[in-house]
Amino acid sequence: MEGQDAMDRIGACLWFDDQAEDAAHFYTGIFPGAKMGAIARYPETGQEITGGKPGSIMTVEFELCGLRFTALNGGPAFKFSEAVSFEVDCADQDEVDYYWSKLGAGGDPGAQQCGWLKDKFGVSWQVVPRAVMDELLNSDDRPKAERAFAAMLQMKKLDVAALRRAYNGE
């Protein structure tokens, strides 16, 4: 592993019931520069352990923003939870709006709070204008930071203008 780029060493494996290919196409259709990768199929061997039908899709590899993912059709044994989420660092409100609408399409509206959403596959995402949040919440002016934080707690999708207004006491 010596000499291997850090981005090549860690990836994410997402366990789906049987939607791995649909999920990979969904995600790669949202993120610019995303790439589909190899598709592996279940072999004849090991059916009694994997439950995978021979010839059906086992894994689908894809890449989002340089991060390697493997989508696994592993059956219904495990479900996603909010304990793990993927952060989308947005430059501005336009990007927040874009990723929020795309990732949230068909998802669970009840799971949305403080920039978090759950997509139609049950995967949790945080859609965050990182630089703005860092500026407002990490400010040395604690009363302003507290107002911005209080405003954020009331939001589902983050609203940069509203956060700035709260920060400024407007």
Copy the structure tokens of residue 14.
Answer: 């997402």
Residue 64 corresponds to which amino acid? L
Domains of the chain: 6-73 (3.10.180.10), 85-167 (3.10.180.10)
pLDDT for 1 equals: 46
Indicate whether 111 pLDDT > 60: yes
Strands 85-89 and 67-73: unpaired
Distance CA 42, CA 53 (A): 6
> Model-level pTM greater than 0.85?
yes
Give pLDDT tens digits for 7-26.
578 999 999 999 999 999 99
Distance CA 130, CA 144 (A): 17
Give pLDDT tens digits for 23-80.
999 999 999 999 999 999 999 887 777 888 888 999 999 999 999 999 999 999 999 9
Q: Note whether 1 and 9 are within 8 A (CB).
A: yes
Give pLDDT tens digits for 81-102.
989 999 999 999 999 999 999 9
Indicate whether 4 pLDDT > 70: no
